[in-house]
Amino acid sequence: MHLKTFTAETLPLAMQQVREHLGEDAVILSTESDPDGPGVRVTAALEDSDAPEGSFDGEDNLATFNIVNEALDYHRVPLALMDSLLSAVGRHAGLPPRETLARAIEAELSFAPMPRQATGYPIMLLGPPGGGKTATAAKLAAQVRVRGGKATLITLDTGKAGSLAQITAFAEALGANLREAHDADSLKHAVANCPNDHFVVIDSIGSGPYDHDSLREMQEWLRVSGAEGILVMPAGGDAVETAEAALAYASLGVDRMIATKMDSSRRIGGILSAAYTAGLTLMGVGTAPTIGGGLRSANPHQIARIILPDEEETDTVGDASPIIAREDGT
Ligand SMILES: Nc1nc2c(ncn2[C@@H]2O[C@H](COP(=O)(O)OP(=O)(O)OP(=O)(O)O)[C@@H](O)[C@H]2O)c(=O)[nH]1
Ligand SMILES: [Mg+2]
């Protein structure tokens, strides 16, 4: 059985899509109002389809489809990604729902480990104001320090009230070097003076995704520092808004992202949508404001566990709850 969901402004328009994609033999399994907008969503099936993608056979697999569909819906995963994930779920039919979903996530999104030692080049954290850049810079440096490595924090955020005091406190607590930079020249100088064996993380100023002057400045900082830009994006935002913002930052050549504030969000559709739409590799998730232990590696099993938690794990997607408190992703 081939299953697919369709959304449209009206039921007749949705039915037209069903006929166009699945033909006249399609069976309508459900119709409901679209949770993402004013229209309707129709789930339809085609028996004996020879299409290999998204194929489901038997009651158990239909149950898996429904469980995953409902969970993705709850997380406000946008339709295009939901469609891709459900098709991938179909390819892994026969496994328990969470395992099936983990494999689908692995197929549709990309993951990479976080740096835990000197990288040989600086990394620069950028993203929206208040998204967690400074805390994440400190968390990354802390992960290097606990493994016995050396770290230098470079801050570009010296003008805002309290920002220098915030990062100075982090650097002192971590035993990390701290350098300040105010513009492209001083940033270049600060980077050039970092010892080769240091993990170097540059904390940038919060920039709105549609503030073109600030994005241009960010691009210049990336260029002069030779840093890899990493997007720091908070969870809980609207899926379309978060994806559009991620596209704007990705236009600076950013390939990877860290999702913060997973502990204070119930839904991760925005984060998944950002990674998927902007083609960003998910490296880590912020799971607490605390510097030690508040940043975890991201992996498909952990994301699947957030989307399909055990019953006792359903409060928020993060914090110290077992949902994402394990590094092994189980
Ligand atoms: N609960 C929770 N709070 C976080 C997390 N990451 C950061 N925060 C908190 O979010 C607030 C903002 O974090 P900052 O690191 O200052 O954010 P920023 O992006 O540097 O902010 P600007 O420099 O003003 O743009 C602080 O109170 C942090 O403690 C997280 O993963 N979980
Ligand atoms: Mg900051």
Per-residue model confidence as pLDDT tens digits over 186-238: 999 999 999 999 999 999 999 899 999 999 999 999 999 999 999 999 999 99
Question: What gap in Å lies between CA 23 and CA 29, rounded to an integer?
Answer: 15
Give the tokens for residue 128: 């929206």
Q: Are 111 and 122 a contacting pair, CB within 8 Å?
A: no
Mean local confidence (pLDDT), 160-185: 93
Mutation pick for ligand 1 pocket among 133, 263, 283 (CB with most ligand atoms within 8 Å): 133
At 296-306, the pLDDT tens digits run: 999 999 999 99
Distance between CA atoms of residues 107 and 86, nearest Å: 11
Q: What is the pLDDT of residue 38?
A: 76
The secondary structure of the chain in percent helix, strand, coil, rounded to multiples of 5, reads: 40, 20, 40
Ligand 1 site residues, Cβ closer than 6 angstroms: 129-135, 157, 163, 206, 260-261, 263-264, 286-289, 294
Cα 163 off chain centre by? 26
Q: Pick the residue with more confidence: 61 or 50?
A: 61
Cα 280 to Cα 163: distance, rounded to the nearest angstrom? 28
Order of strands across the sheet with 27-33? 2-8, 40-46, 27-33
Average pLDDT value for residue range 102-107: 94
- Taking the alpha carbons at both ends of the chain, their separation in whole angstroms is 30
pLDDT at 156: 95
The stretches of 207-287 forming alpha helices (DSSP H) are 212-225, 239-250, 269-278
User: For atom 24 of ligand 1, which residue has the closest CA?
Assistant: 130
Instruction: Give 124-166 pLDDT, tens digit per residue.
Output: 999 999 999 999 999 999 999 999 999 999 999 988 888 899 9
| Domain formed by 123-298, architecture | 3-Layer(aba) Sandwich (3.40)
Q: So what's the pLDDT on residue 50? A: 55
Please give the C-alpha separations between residue 9 and each of 38, 238, 319, in angstroms, as whole numbers. Answer: 7, 20, 38
pLDDT bracket for residue 319 (50, 70, 90): very low
